[in-house]
Amino acid sequence: MTGDRILVVEDNELNMKLFHDVLQATGYTTLKAYTGEEAVELAVSHVPTLVLMDVQLPGIDGVATLARLRDDERTASIRVLALTAQAMHGDRTGFLDAGFDGYLSKPVDIAELLRTVEELCRRGKRPRRGASLIDRE
């Protein structure tokens, strides 16, 4: 059992169930958010190890939600993995440049999802802004 807490941000009920069930069966604790606003509230109150972020959300989208997380000192160091159906050439670079820690396209390969989640959880928190080179990964 890992014990890591994962916040899943997904507005599609079937995808949410799949991610939640797979993560729970693998030993992760999960939190669920269906909107970007809800994701920010849960991230602030529970400070998960990792956020799985659907990019296309009602209200504020995943990129704007990520920006809010990065702008808040309490959540800036949380790792965030983009999950999106946007799988065009260059999208990966765009999402990483936006501040995501990784990117998986939908439909998600479950084995790849679990490998990526494990890797990001193992890395721990992101370096603080302005941290010295010694403090960085």
CATH number of residue 126's parent domain: 3.40.50.2300
**20-43 residue pLDDT tens:** 999 999 999 999 999 999 999 999
4, pLDDT greater than 50: yes
Q: Return all residues near 61 (Cβ < 8 A) that are at least 6 apart.
A: 36, 55
Mean pLDDT, residues 37-51 = 97
pTM for this predicted structure: 0.88
Its domain, for residue 129, covers 5-136
pLDDT band at 90 (very low <50, low <70, confident <90, very high): low
The structural domain count of the chain equals 1
Average pLDDT over residues 57-66: 94
> Cα angle vertex 21, ends 19, 25, to 5°?
120
pLDDT above 60 (res 72): yes
